[in-house]
Amino acid sequence: MTGLSHIGIATTDIEEAAKTWLLLGFQFVHTTEVPDQKVKVAKLRYGGLIVELLEPTSDDSPIKGFLDKKGPGIHHLAIEVDDMEHKIDEFLNSGIKMIDKKPRIGAAGKPIAFIHPSSTGGVLVELEQD
């Protein structure tokens, strides 16, 4: 484990949601679309803290499902790991429930894997290989 990569926040409108973060001193890094996740991602940075605003691009987007169920707010925390495959094995052996038992490629083109919220007290945790 090396540190916090970013906090993912679900929103219905990136432009609208970004206004407050920009006022807080955050700056836009970039905006990308992840067709795989049916989501538009705006990355904002404030010092070492990165927030990713996530807006669904389709009604069957997982982010749309989250918004319908819980409303806008924190969707996940992302933690950087050195050796993804090793970490996943370690976690599985410790009885941690993984959504992804194998790494897949995330928004930043890096390997990612999600831990199931049932293993983390209701928090969706993303592992991201740096």
Where do contacts with Co ion occur on this chain (CB under 5 A)?
A: 8, 78, 126
Q: Cβ contacts of residue 79 below 8 Å, gap of 6+?
A: 1, 3, 4, 5, 125, 126, 127, 128
**Closer Cβ to Co ion, 9 or 91, answer by number:** 9
Distance CA 77, CA 40 (A): 17
Kindly state the smallest distance separating residue 97's Cβ from Co ion, in Å: 18
The dihedral built from the CA positions of residue 114, 3, 41 and 69, taken in this order, carries a sign that is: positive
**Closer Cβ to Co ion, 55 or 126, answer by number:** 126
Kindly state the smallest distance separating residue 51's Cβ from Co ion, in Å: 10
Kindly state the smallest distance separating residue 47's Cβ from Co ion, in Å: 19
Q: Cβ contacts of residue 43 below 8 Å, gap of 6+?
A: 6, 28, 29, 30, 31, 32, 50, 51, 52
**Closer Cβ to Co ion, 42 or 91, answer by number:** 42
Kindly state the smallest distance separating residue 50's Cβ from Co ion, in Å: 9
Q: Answer for the pair 123, 75: CB distance below 8 angstroms, yes or no.
A: no
**Closer Cβ to Co ion, 95 or 122, answer by number:** 122
